[in-house]
Structure formats: C-alpha cells, structure tokens
Amino acid sequence: MANKLKESETIEQRMTALLAQMTLAEKIGQMCQLNASEGYAPDYLADDLRAGRVGSVLNVVDVDVVNELQRIAVEESRLGIPLLVGRDVIHGFKTIMPIPLGQAATWNPALVKEGAHLAALEAAGAGINWTFAPMVDISRDARWGRIAESPGECVFLARMLAIAAVEGFQGDDLSATGAIAACAKHFAGYGAVESGRDYATTNLPETKLRNVWLRPFKAAVDAGVMTMMTSFSDLNGVPATGNSFLLRQVLRDEWNFGGFVVSDWDSVRQLQIHGLTENDRESAFEAATAGVDMEMAGDAYRHHLIGLVEEGRIGIDTIDTAVANILRAKFRLGLFENSFTDPAELPPPGNARALATAQKLALQSVVLLKNDHGTLPLSTQRLSSIAVIGPLADARYEQLGTWIFDGDEELAITPLHAINSLVGDDVDVRYVRAMENSRSKATEAFDAAVEIAKDSDLAILFLGEESILSGEAHSRADINLPGDQADLVRRIRETGKPVIAVILAGRPLTLTNIVDQVDAILFAWHPGAMGGPAIADLLFGIESPSGKLPATFPRMVGQIPIYYSQKNTGKPPSRDNVVHIDDIDTYAPQTSLGMSSFHLDTCFTPLFAFGHGLSYTCFDYQRIRTSADEIELGDTVTISADVMNRGEVTAEEVVQLYCRDLVASITRPVKELKGFRRVRIEPNQTLTVDFELHTDDLAFYGRDMQRTVEPGEFHAWIGGSSEAELRTDFRIIDSG
Ligand code: BGC
C-alpha cells in the first residue's frame, strides 16, 4: 500500500509538471482521438503528431505503424507525449473467444479474467495499449443486437464479470508488458434502448438506474478501470455524452473515478443530431463541460475548444482536469518509459494457451436447454452414422460472432470438422449444409438433408444466426430462428429420427416453434475459434454441459422485457389465475380472465429461465439453512445447501443463491442473484456449498437515492437456476 501511494504521488507530480509546460493547443490535442485506420496513418497524422494535436489514435493494428506513430509523437513533438492506441478487443484479439454473452453463460469470472488477459497479451503485441472493453451494459431485451456484447440481464453476474474483465485486461500492474487499459462502456443506460432498437432513447427512473444499470459500472470503477466510454443514447432527455449528472455527479463526485472518459465514436457531434445543441461548437461545449475528457473520432474538440476557452465559456480548469485524467492513464501505463512495442516480448497470437482458454470458455458457455430421454450424450459405440445438417455446421467466420476486427478466421475449427476428428472411422458422418446462410429462404436443398437424416441413426442440426445478425446496429424485431430454419427442423423431424439442435447465435432466441420438434438443444452462442471442439466434446459426453443462461429466453417477442428479477406487482400471476386466449369462457368473458399480470396469448413464464442449464447428471439440492435466523445490521450470515450428484458422470454445476427483500420503502424484485459458485461433483458425492452474505449485500437505493439496507424479512433460495424452490428465511434487525 505504502509503495502504491508513493508511486501514485510520483505520477501526480510528474503529471502536474508536464501540464504546467503545455500550451492550450497541446492540452486540447491530448483530448482528441483520431481514426488512424489503414490508409491514413502515419502520413496523414504526422503533422498533427508533431504539433501535439493528437492524444490518442484508434484502429491501427500494424505494430510497425504504431511504433512509427509513437516515434513521431515521442521524438518529434515538443513535449514528447506518447499516444494511447485504442482498439475494440472485445472477445479476443487474434484468438477469438466466445462472445461476451457466451462468456457470461460460463458464470466463471476467473476464466473470463484469463480470457481477457490473453486477449490483452495478443493485442499488446500489435502496439495496442487500450481496449474499448468490457461492455457492461445490462440488457433485458434480446432484440437489441448488442446484447451479444453484454453480460446479460443480471446486476450481480454483470458486476462479477466487469471486475473479472477489468482485472484481466489491466492486470495488477498496468505498466507491465502485456497489460492494457480497459474501458467500461457505454455509460450509461444503453442496454435499455426502447424496443431494443440500437441507439434509441432510454428512459430510466433514477432508482432503477442506480439499482440496476449503474451498478456494473461502479464495480468496474472499484476494480480500477482506467477509462469509461459514454453511450450513444439519450438518457431521460439528456444524451449521455452531454450528461453531467452521469459524468460529474455520479462518476466523479460520488464514485471518485480517477481515470478518463472518452466519448463514443463521434457522439460529441451527434449531440446536435439528438437535438441538444445547434452546432458542433455547442456540442463541444456541452460534452466538455459535462465531463467528456476525450473525443473519439470527431473534430468538435479539435476545432472549437480553443475558441470556447478563449471566449471564457469553458474555464481552463475544466481543460486541465480533463488533460490530467488522460495523462494519468499514460503515466500509469508506463508509456513514457516504454513507448515502443517489441512483439518478440509477447507470446505469439493463437498460441496453445490462448486456444486452450478459448476452448474452455466455449465448453463452459454452452447451455443444454433440453435433453429428452437422455438423447445426449452420444456414444460412438452405439452409433454407426450421423447426419450433420445446417448453415452453421461448417462456417468458420460465422461461429466467431460480432466485433472480431482482428480475429484470425484460420484458427477457427468448425463443429463439423471437430465431430469428424472425434469420431474418426467409428461413425459415418454425412453432411448437408441445406441453407446457404441462416437467413436463407431457399428450400431446394432440404430434400438432400432429409435423405441423409433418413439414412442415419440421428440428425444434428446446426442452426441459429450468422454473425452479422447481432452486434452494433444489428437489432431484430423478430427473434425466431431466421429464414426457413423452422421449416428445415420440421422436415427433419418428419423422418422420425432423433433430432439434436445445436444453436449458434448472438442473442437469446424465441424457440417456441421448434422446441417440441427436437429431442435436445445445445445453445452455443457464437462460441469463437474453438467452438467446434467444445461442441463435439459436449455432444459425445467427453464433458458434461455446465453453461447457465445469463438472460431469460422469452416464449414470444411480445413478452420482452422479461427477466427474472421483476417486481411482484399487485396482481401477480400464478398457474391458477391465468387464462389462455383459447380457453376464454364465451358466456362470461369478463369474469373468467383471471385478473392478474399476464398475456392472454402466452404463458406468463419464460421458455427458459435465467440461470437455467441442464447437465448429463442430475443435481439434487437439499437442506438449505442459515447460520442464524436473525442477523444484526452490519453482520454476515452464512447460507448453505447440500448438492448431491445423483447421476453417473462427474460434472460441474453452477450453484446459485437468490434473495428477496419482502417489504421495503421501494418495492424490491421477487428474486435477486446474490452469489454463485461453479463446483465439480463426482457421482454420489454430496457437497455443501456455503455463501457468506453481508447485510450490505442486500442494500439498495431507496427514495432518497441513498444506498441502504432496511431491516426486515428476507427469503433465500439455493438452486441450479432462478426457478430454485429450496428456500429458507432470515431477518435483519437493527438493535443499535
Ligand atoms: C461503438 C463502441 C466502439 C467504438 C469504437 C462505436 O460505434 O459503439 O462500442 O468501442 O465504436 O470502435
């Protein structure tokens, strides 16, 4: 601690000394990030670099070009300030790991941290010292294309993953070779865009904003994240890039954030398009005064900040604070000491450790949604032939998912390839792609697929969404399997052969129209380069599936937003008080409807609940108990349950703890995740899983926007999903 303090004092002193030498133009230069993608750098940038008009570049990944840019900045500019070199390293750099939503399905923060660390090492080898990740936007709307990049719907899980990613990218020492600055984005509310349309408006009451959407960002700040990125979206009428409530009151005054804030791509100038400002000059004014330290890829700061300061509209203190925040990051990264990159000091991209981690993440991310009559796992001894069908069985690029700028497609191993290697000569594998891509509506090749299914012992269908269907600006209003995939499923079903669906997608899908047509479903997200071997190992039982859903799967798109931590309402639905549209009593329609909170044309429950995920064994949860029935405010209680593996294979299970605060001054969710643990249990072994819960873990922001714990009754459940029924109760008291 003493050392850390000393080190940061030195950084503060060095930064202050540097700032004192800077001209206004050089200061504003630090606040500008320019696009340096291929074709532009370095000629296009050289004069700006020499004049100190650039603090950061993004989208240059050739290490020689990066080194040359750094050389000009360091050796040819007056003050020799090195550059921050940013890039979207979202789920791997060259070695692509599962999409972030898939990584969330592992419920394994330690593994996510390792994945981020390995991605940082690969990116650092290209001269990158700053990633625009992790995205920590909670999302409860699968229509939103960017749910693929998100940690899913749950505050607790998102917080744990935010910490893991920040620690993975940044390491213990940001100046170490291979550590890169992280960026928690998009501050804030982006995941709540109306109807899941990207860039749309968000409206979030302050209690909801604070209790849900802001919490993963706070976790990232507490974990030491160096930077934050604003959201493109408008929050309660003020676009995030001009929102001083978010950027000053919450981030700086309440959270003491010591890093810097970057706008999203050109989002400063977009303040005008939102209708907040009249022109770029006013946009620069709003963003800078709200607390955006650096403008990404626009030129509002570049052209207008000097004038705004000279006119006296923006005080020099505002500029100095922003520049100090940016310089602090550069000092912490050690860029003044080590401005250049020698790739030989870093492991080569696509190395064995990176591939093994990518495979492990993929393996643990796949969720077994259903498995009738033990269809899975398959056995090479009992099979002589299998039909592999579908547009995603052998599509290397498509299994990588969104945001893979630098991903090496050559490293990807497809499921078809991996199945063939795994079964060798023991099983005859026949393959028909059947559809050119997942959106295809051409059905001519279906007959060939039906033929091979008829001739085989069973069919494995690789369905889902190709990668372009999720990600930024790739939202969907209909989240069924696209194209004619449902028809393909029906045709294969008609053969009477067992049908296994392996679904690769960037979001939860509505699977209602196929769920009863197949015997088993493995939901694999976009699993990345090593998705093929991971899926093959799961299909053939080398490993048991252990992924759990990080987001609820609706039955129908009209149920959205549907999430486990909803409020109870004054008229909660139950099996006894709901009526289906087909069962309305024609003679007494008004009285027979049930009068509770549900949709007439579907069930009130989701198709698959948050936290759901089956295994090849069966876990039995018993004997939930608390260390005390009553705990004093400020104390800790231990909640435990015994988990027994009743099946025949060793398997991992994610044991989940949920709580409910029964009565509070603002209504609280019916369940909130408060802990989880991934454990490996042998057949017939019983493991006691303990969760320590401090009363602060049950705090929430109330009517006065203060985070407090209110004494009273609590329920606690331990189980394998948010539908856990094994419950105990405890009470928090305040005798002080
Ligand atoms: C995205 C950000 C990304 C940035 C830079 C924007 O369009 O919203 O998430 O980091 O581009 O590529």
pLDDT of residue 214: 98
Helix, strand, or coil here: 557? helix
pLDDT digits over 143-158, tens only?
Answer: 999 999 999 999 999 9
pLDDT tens-digit readout, 230-268: 999 999 999 999 999 999 999 999 999 999 999 999 999
Helix, strand or coil for residue 549? coil
Output the CA torsion sign for 95, 96, 98, 103. positive
Cα–Cα distance list, 7 to 173, 320, 322, 333, 423 (Å): 11, 21, 21, 12, 57
Q: Would you say residue 526 has pLDDT above 80?
A: yes
Express each pLDDT in 271-297 by its tens digit. Answer: 999 999 999 999 999 999 999 999 999
Could you tell me the distance, in angstroms and rounded to a whole number, from the CA of residue 388 to the centre of ligand 1? Answer: 37
Percent of the chain with pLDDT over 70: 98
Angle value at C-alpha 688, between 686 and 694, nearest 5 degrees: 165
pLDDT of residue 588: 73
Could you identify the atom of ligand 1 that is nearest to the CA of residue 186? 9
Question: Looking at ligand 1, which atom is closest to the CA of residue 135?
Answer: 9
Token reading at 697: 């873990």
* Cα(722) to centroid(ligand 1), Å: 33
Helices 155-170, 215-222: axis angle to 10 degrees equals 30
Distance CA 621, CA 643 (A): 5
Indicate whether 3 pLDDT > 50: no
- Phi and psi based region of residue 36 (left: phi greater than 0; alpha: psi -120 to 50; beta: remaining): alpha
Probe ligand 1: pick from 88, 146, 267, max atoms within 8 Å of CB?
A: 88
Calculate how far, in angstroms, residue 299's C-alpha sits from the geometric centre of ligand 1: 16
Closest-CA residue, ligand 1 atom 11, reads 265
Name the amino acid, one letter, at 452.
Answer: I
Tell me what the mean pLDDT of segment 339-360 comes to.
98
* Helix (H), strand (E) at residue 300: helix 300-310
215 CA to centre of ligand 1 in angstroms: 21
For the segment 26-44, what is each residue's pLDDT rounded down to a tens digit? 999 999 999 998 666 678 8
For tokens 């009754």, the residue is 713
| Number of the ligand 1 atom closest to the C-alpha atom of 132 | 10
> What mean pLDDT is predicted for residues 511-524?
98
Confidence of residue 2 (pLDDT cuts 50, 70, 90): very low
pLDDT of residue 589: 65
Q: How far is the CA of 634 from the centre of ligand 1 (A)?
A: 41
Least confident of 2-6, 9-13, 81-85, 431-435: 2-6
**Reduced to 3 states, what is the DSSP secondary structure of residue 645?**
strand
> Which position has the higher pLDDT, 396 or 577?
396
Which whole number is the average pLDDT over 358-383? 98
Helix, strand, coil shares, percent, the chain, to 5? 35, 20, 45
For position 647, what pLDDT does the model report? 97
Atom of ligand 1 lying closest to residue 59 CA? 12
Distance CA 143, CA 589 (A): 33
For the entire predicted model, the pTM comes to 0.98
Q: In the prediction, which pLDDT does 594 show?
A: 78
The 10s digit of each residue's pLDDT in 69-122 is 999 999 999 999 999 999 999 999 999 999 999 999 999 999 999 999 999 999
* 3-state DSSP assignment of residue 346: coil
% pLDDT > 90, the chain = 94
The string of DSSP codes covering 444-498 is TTHHHHHHHHHTSSEEEEEEE--GGGSSTT---S--SPPTTHHHHHHHHHTTTS-
Among residues 88, 234, 264, 293, the one annotated as catalytic is 264
Mutate which of 59, 132, 230 for ligand 1? The one with the most ligand atoms within 8 Å of its CB, which is 132
Q: What residue ranges line ligand 1, CB within 6 angstroms?
A: 88, 132, 185, 264-265, 472
What is the average pLDDT value for the chain, to the nearest integer? 96
At residue 42, the pLDDT reads: 75
Task: Please say if the pLDDT value at position 168 is more than 80.
Answer: yes
Please tell me the residue having the least CA distance from ligand 1 atom 5. Answer: 265
264 is annotated as an active-site residue:
yes
At residue 128, the pLDDT reads 98
Report CA(307)–ligand 1 centroid distance (Å): 28
CA of 265 to the centre of ligand 1 (A): 6
pLDDT at 535: 99
Taking CA atoms only, the protein residue closest to ligand 1 atom 12 is: 88
Distance CA 37, CA 441 (A): 37
